[in-house]
Amino acid sequence: MENSKQNSALRDSTSKSLWQEVAVVAGDKSTAVVNEPDKIYDCLIVGAGITGITTALLLQRAGHSCVIAEARQPGFGTTGGTSAHLNTFFDATYPEVESDFGKEAAKLLAKGGQEAMSMIEGFVKELNIDCDLESKPAWLYAENEKESKQLQKILEASQRAGVSVEVTNENLVPVPFDSVIRFEGQGQFHPLKYINGLLAEFLKLGGVLLQNSMIRHSSVEEGIYAAKSDTGMIRAKKMFYATHIPPGINLMSLRNAPYRSYVLGLKLKNDNYPDGLVYDMQEPYHYFRTHVIEGQPYLIVGGEDHKTGHEDPEAAFQRLKDYAGQYYSVESVAYQWSAQYYVPVDGLPYVGQLPAAAEGTYVATGFNGNGMMFGTLSAKIISDLVLGKENEYASLFSPSRLKPVAGFTEFVKENADVAWHFIADRFSSSNLKALSDLKPGEGKLVDYEGKKLAVYKDDAGKVTALNPTCTHAGCTVQFNAAEQSWDCPCHGGRFDISGKVLTGPPTIDLETVIISYDQQP
Ligand code: FES
C-alpha cells in the first residue's frame, strides 16, 4: 500500500467536508513495526494532521528517523474539517496579545504568522503540491459603533505588530457594515491536498506512517519511550502529541476548552462568490470565502461556534443556514460539516515540552480557530526543540508559562464549567426515559435499571447501549445528532455511536452495555 492512494478520506464526523472528495496518501507500514520490534526511532509523532505531518517531514529531512502513529487515517481530525484559512491575524487579536503578553510578544506573534505562511508557500513551491493555494486579502468588518471601536484598536495594534492592514470602504459581502479593514497577504488552500504533498515527501525520505494505530498506552524507561499501539509496540527517543490534547489528565486538559465550529459549502443561484476572505466581529463570529473545486465555486460560510457538548449542533447548523440565506441566494447546501478546535485560556497556543511529563515529551495545542497556521509554526518549534536548536517562539508558546493575569477570567470560567460538569454529571440523574421513546437516528441518555445509559437507535431500529461515562475523566457524554456522535462536554473527547474513540483525550472506547427487554423498543 505504500504511496498508494485511498479512494476516499474519512473524518471524525459523519458529515462530509468539502475536502473529502480527494484521496489521501496511504502508505501504511504497520508491518515495519511488526517486523522490527526492537527498532528505536528518533521520534514518535502521534497524529497525522497538519501539525504532525509537517513536524515529521522537518525532522525526517534533518536526518531523524520518524514514525507517525495515526489513530485512523491522515487528516481524519480537524485538518479534514478546517475551513482552511491562512491568516497572519488571529482569534487572539493583537490588542489582546499586547495587553496580556506585551508589545514585543505581539510583534513576535506577527512574525510567527508570517513564518508559517512562508513555510506553507515554500513547501508548495518546492514540492510542487497542487493544493489550490492562493494569496488573498482578508476583510474584517464592524457592524456597529462598539465593534468599530474594537476594530480601530485591532487596526492600530496590528500595524504596530508589523502586519500589513489598512482601512477600506468595502467588505466584499452583502452585509451592511459600519467600518472595515483589509489585511494583505492572507491565503487559502485545500488542506488534504496539502498534507498529501507533505506526506508523500515524508514517505519518500523513509519516514514511517502507521494508520489505524491509536496509541493506547506509553511509558518511558531510560530515555526510551515504549508506546503500545493498535499495530504493535513502537519505541522512540522522543514523543510528540500532535493530537490537540494529549491523553491522560494533565494541565492541557484544564487550560484548553473544546469548541465545535460549523461550516457550509453552498452553491449560489448567481455569481456573487466573494474573491477574498471575509470575517465579521459578532460573537460567535461568521466568515465567508470561496473555493473552486473542479470548476464549481462553493461559498464557504462558517461560524456559530460553541463549546463541545453544550449546545444543539443541529440548531447551530440551522442558524448558520438562516444567516447565509439572509444575504445570499442559495441554490443548495452542497456540504455541511463541523469540526473541533481548542481555545486556550490566555489566548495563545501551548507548544513545547509537556509539563510534568518525561523530558522529550512534546505537545502542541490551543490553536483556537487558526490551526493551519499554528500547526505549521508548531512544527518548526517542535522540530527545533527535538533537534536541540534555539527557537525564538518557544518561550512565548511554552506550555509551562504562567500567565496569572492574562485570561484569568476565562480560566476561571472554563474551569468552573468543567468542575460543574464533573459534579452534575456524576450526581444528578436525568429524567426517566423509556427506550421506546427513541426515534431512528436518535441518541439519548436514559436511566435503565438504576444505571445511566447512552442509547442510540439506528435506522433499522437496532438499539446500541453504552456506558456514557467518558473514559478520560468520568464526565457524561452528550449526543450530537448532527454528527451522530457522543461528545464529552469536559475536554472534548468524542465517540462514534458504537462507542469507538473519534477524538482524544480519551484513548479507551466507551463500554458497550448489553441490555435486555421483553419487547422490541
Ligand atoms: Fe475529559 Fe471526557 S474528555 S472527561
pLDDT tens readout for residues 139-166: 999 999 999 999 999 999 999 999 999 9
Instruction: Tell how far the Cα of 75 is from the centroid of ligand 1, in angstroms.
Output: 22
CA dihedral 443, 444, 445, 450 (to 10 degrees): -100
Domain 435-519 annotated CATH 2.102.10.10: yes
Distance, CA of 131 to CA of 26 (rounded, Å) = 17
Average pLDDT over residues 165-178: 97
Among protein residues, the one whose CA lies closest to atom 1 of ligand 1:
491
Average pLDDT score over the chain: 88
Task: Verify whether ligand 1 is closer than 6 Å to residue 505 (CB atom).
Answer: yes
The closest-lying atom of ligand 1 relative to the alpha carbon of residue 253 is: 1
pLDDT at 419: 44
The pTM for the full model equals: 0.87
Residue 425 and residue 469: Cα distance in Å, rounded?
Answer: 9
Per-residue pLDDT of 305-325, as tens digits, reads 999 988 889 999 999 999 999
Please work out whether the CB of residue 47 comes within 6 Å of at least one atom of ligand 1: no
pLDDT digits (tens, 9 = 90+) for 48-62: 999 999 999 999 999
Report the residue among 475, 501, 503 best suited for mutation to probe ligand 1: largest number of ligand atoms under 8 A from its CB: 475
One fold for 135-187+257-343 and 435-519: no
185-210 pLDDT, tens digit each: 999 999 999 999 999 999 999 999 99
Would the pLDDT of 220 be above 50? yes
CA–centroid distance, 173 to ligand 1, in Å, is 39
The Cα 431–Cα 218 span in angstroms is 40
Q: What is the mean pLDDT of residues 77-93?
A: 95
Domain map of the chain by residue range? Answer: 135-187+257-343, 435-519
How many whole angstroms from 467 Cα to the centroid of ligand 1? 14
Q: Is 140 in the pocket of ligand 1 (CB under 6 A)?
A: no
Q: For domain 135-187+257-343, say whether CATH 3.30.9.10 is its number.
A: yes
- Using the atom order of ligand 1, give the atom closest to the CA of residue 249: 1
504 CB less than 6 Å from ligand 1? no
Please tell me the predicted confidence (pLDDT) of residue 420.
41
Cβ 468 under 6 angstroms from ligand 1 = no
Question: At residue 517, does pLDDT exceed 50?
Answer: no
Amino acid letter, residue 457: K
Percent of the chain residues past pLDDT 70, beyond the cut? 87
CA dihedral for 80, 86, 88, 89, sign (positive or negative): negative
Ligand 1 mutation target, pool 422, 423, 470, most atoms within 8 A of CB: 470
Identify which has the larger pLDDT, 128 or 25.
128
- Is the pLDDT at 256 greater than 50? The verdict is yes
**Is 493's C-beta closer than 6 angstroms to any atom of ligand 1?**
yes
> Using one digit for the tens of pLDDT, what is the confidence trace for 387-410?
999 999 999 999 988 764 444 444
> Considering only 18-22, 401-405, 486-490, which range has the smallest mean pLDDT?
401-405
Spatial contact of 478 and 485, defined as CB atoms under 8 Å apart: no
